[in-house]
Chain A
Amino acid sequence: DVKVTQSSRYLVKRTGEKVFLECVQDMDHENMFWYRQDPGLGLRLIYFSYDVKMKEKGDIPEGYSVSREKKERFSLILESASTNQTSMYLCASSLWGASSYEQYFGPGTRLTVT
C-alpha cells in the first residue's frame, strides 16, 4: 500500500514565523505535490516536483517555497506566515510518465496562523 505521511495533523503558528510542512512517501514516486484547501475555493495546487531538486509552480505559489532534497521527501515552506495562509494543506505523490497516474494523498495538515 502506498503511504503518504505528513509531519503534523494540526499546527498553530504566529504571523511572521517561518513554517515547514513535511511530506514523506514510501513508494519511490517521482512526482510530489502540495495543495491547499479552502472553503468555497476547493483544492488548489501550490507547487509540484517531478524529481529531486526540481520544482514547478502551481496555481498559487505566492508566499510559498518548496524543497526536494531526497526523492521521498517534499517540504513546503512558508517564509513568513500570514493569516491568509490559514488552511488545510494536502500533500500527494504519484508515478511520473506520459500518462496521468493516480495521486495518493496524505492525511492533511490543518495550519492556523494567528
Chain B
Amino acid sequence: KQEVTQIPAALSVPEGENLVLNCSFTDSAIYNLQWFRQDPGKGLTSLLLIQSSQREQTSGRLNASLDKSSGRSTLYIAASQPGDSATYLCVAYNAGNMLTFGGGTRLMVKP
C-alpha cells in the first residue's frame, strides 16, 4: 500500500528565504504527483501536477521535481512571502485513480 510522507511537518522561515518542502512515497509506480496548498479552514488549491513521464513543473516562484526511482518529490519556493503561509500537501496518484495524501507541511513565513 502506498505511503506518502512529508518532512518537515512544520516550518517557520523569515520572509525572502528560498525553501524546499520534501515528499517521499513508498511505491514508485505512480501516475502523477501533485502539490496542493491549503489555507486554514479552506479547500485545496492545486499548485503543480507532475506526470510520471516528467521530471519537474514550474509556476512562477514554485518549482516541483519528481524522482520516481528514489520515491521523492520536492517543492521549491523562491523568495518566500508571508502570503505563502499555508499547509502544503503532496499527493501521489496510484492505479485506478486512487490518491494517497501526505500529512502536509505547515509553512509560516514571517515578515
Residues of A within 8 A of B (CB): 31, 42-43, 45, 88, 90, 94, 96, 99-108, 110
Q: Say whether B43 contacts A103, CB under 8 Å.
A: no
The closest CB in chain A to the CB of B34 belongs to A102
Partner of B99, one of A88, A96, A103, A106: A103
Could you say which residues of chain B place their CB within 8 Å of the CB of A102?
Answer: 32, 34, 46, 49
Could you say which residues of chain B place their CB within 8 Å of the CB of A99?
Answer: 31
The interface residues of chain B, by DSSP majority, are classed as strand
**Measured between C-beta atoms, what is the minimum distance from A9 to chain B in Å?**
9
Q: Say whether A100 contacts B94, CB under 8 Å.
A: yes
Q: Say whether A100 contacts B93, CB under 8 Å.
A: yes
Interface locus among B17-25, B56-64, B69-77, B100-108:
B100-108
Q: Say whether B104 contacts A100, CB under 8 Å.
A: no
Q: Say whether B43 contacts A90, CB under 8 Å.
A: yes
A103 to B96, CA, bound (A): 12
Partner of A105, one of B31, B43, B97, B102: B43
The closest CB in chain A to the CB of B49 belongs to A102
